[in-house]
Structure 1
Amino acid sequence: MSPSAAASLRLELSLVQPVLRAAAARMWRSDAGLRDRYRHYLRAMHQVIRASVPLMERAATRCERLPRDPLAPPLAQYLRAHAEQERGHDDWLLTDAAATGTAPCELTAAAPPAHVAALVGAQYYWIEHSHPVALLGYIAVLEGNAPAPGLAGRLARETGLPSAAFETVRLHADLDGGHSADLDRLITQLHLDPAQRSLVAVSALHTVATLAELFDRIATAPHVSESVHD
């Protein structure tokens, strides 16, 4: 793959970035429903993030079953290492939820809705039935759209929830920039053929569309009485 491969992917994503940013802005708008929307966000993101390590491990295993594919060894190595970096992040969300007064079992027992399955499940399909490199598009979007550095503080001020309820937002704002740089270096180094390059782009664009839908569903979620949680 040419040295401009990562830049090309970022350029493609920049064309649809306003859609995702607008959905995030609607979700984080300042009004009386922000506290409840944040609780909805924690539940939804737990459903997404708890799949991150299993997705990467499954993709790495598929790579290891492609012994004649020159892409497979460096991709598997990256995925195994990144899975270790991401391990336990779903537990951060459970801790944050507890700080809001939400029992962790409300997150772990909830059945993921269809729009979450569409976001995550497409990656399983591409890993199994196309090529595990597809997962790089998904990772590029999730880590290329880290929370803004000041978001955790603003949410704490405007919701009245304790600052301990926003550790995942705060930590991902700090960590994901470095992870995105690692991914860009990998994409630049890999020698993808045109079909594989297209697959990464399709995966990334699908992730933008379904993540924006997820944010919009949170933005329009019905207000829940504080007495349910507090």
Structure 2
Amino acid sequence: MSPSAVASLRLELSLVRPVLWAATARMWRADSGLPGRYRRYLCAMHQVIRASVPLMERAATRCEALPRDPVARPLARYLRAHAEEERGHDDWLLTDAEATGTPPEKLTGTVPPAHVAALVGAQYYWIEHSHPVALLGYIAVLEGNAPAPGLAGRLARETGLPPAAFETVRLHADLDDGHSADLDRLIERLPLDAAQRSLVAVSALHTVASLAELFDRITAAPTEWESTDD
């Protein structure tokens, strides 16, 4: 018997997730550069997360244009509900940035670098030109790699920044485990064909690689973000 869609996806992700974990560890290492990296992280994640609701809404709209597709209706229902759960999370990051002394307009006014556009933009391409189910791979990675419990407190201690600057990290550590479980149940219920399962996996693997690159660029303080530090 072939493995379930969730089991297959988790197995494939287990082979590449150490790359993401290593990039995350480098970004959060305790040294004098951590406050600046955290500010760059807030900017980068705002650029990523402000696309979450529009991505889900666009994918749901595409699903609703596929009335004969057995995957489309339950997928659209999940995406509409999840979009409401995620609405406003980009504003949390603006509030956190302000607590670090970074004006919110520094985040909203920064041109997103190409690697951020590549991380998010691939999803638009697959939604429009393949199948909106691709977005499940992206969501699986982002919510399956939630901040560790206790990270917000550790970062506050090690950066010297106020605890109010870490609310998004704290809240996502609490919320994303439940969201991941909901996503697993959905993937198990959906009648995915072989091509759709492959698309979800390709999307997830791309997301891991792109997110690891993003974290490494934050760590390396690339020139396109140097202006975000005070």
TM-score, L = length of structure 1: 0.96
Per-residue Cα deviation, 1:165-199 (whole angstroms, up to 9, x for no partner)? 00000000000000000000000000111000000
Task: Determine the C-alpha separation between the residues in 2 that align with 1:112 and 1:217.
Answer: 13
Partner in structure 1 of residue 9 of structure 2: 9
Partner in structure 2 of residue 101 of structure 1: 101
Whether 2:89 is the aligned partner of 1:50: answer no
Using the TM superposition, give the Cα deviation of residue 5 of structure 1 relative to its aligned residue in structure 2, in angstroms: 1.3
Partner in structure 2 of residue 212 of structure 1: 212
Partner in structure 2 of residue 167 of structure 1: 167
User: Does the Cα contact within 8 Å between 1:134 and 1:203 map onto a contact in 2?
Assistant: yes
The 5-angstrom pairing of residues 1-230 of structure 1 reads 4-221=4-221, 229=230
Task: Determine the C-alpha separation between the residues in 1 that align with 2:183 and 2:5.
Answer: 11
Q: For residue 220 of structure 1, what is the amino acid of its counterpart?
A: A
Number of matched pairs: 226
Task: Determine the C-alpha separation between the residues in 2 that align with 1:16 and 1:150.
Answer: 24
Unaligned runs of 5+ in 1: none
Using the TM superposition, give the Cα deviation of residue 8 of structure 1 relative to its aligned residue in structure 2, in angstroms: 1.5
Q: For residue 102 of structure 2, what is the amino acid of its counterpart?
A: T
SS at match of 1:110: coil
Per-residue Cα deviation, 1:7-56 (whole angstroms, up to 9, x for no partner)? 21111101101000000000001100000000000000000000000000
User: Does the Cα contact within 8 Å between 1:3 and 1:188 map onto a contact in 2?
Assistant: no
Using a 3 Å threshold, how does the CA distance of structure 1 residues 92 and 106 change in structure 2: closer, same or farther? same
SS at match of 1:221: coil
Per-residue Cα deviation, 1:144-185 (whole angstroms, up to 9, x for no partner)? 000000110000000000000000000000000000000000
**Root-mean-square deviation over aligned CA pairs:** 1.5
Per-residue Cα deviation, 1:86-107 (whole angstroms, up to 9, x for no partner)? 0000000000000000000000
Task: Determine the C-alpha separation between the residues in 1 that align with 2:11 and 2:177.
Answer: 17
Unaligned runs of 5+ in 2: none
Q: For residue 146 of structure 1, what is the amino acid of its counterpart?
A: A
Q: For residue 183 of structure 1, what is the amino acid of its counterpart?
A: L
SS at match of 2:96: helix
User: Does the Cα contact within 8 Å between 1:48 and 1:120 map onto a contact in 2?
Assistant: yes
Identical counterparts, % of pairs: 84
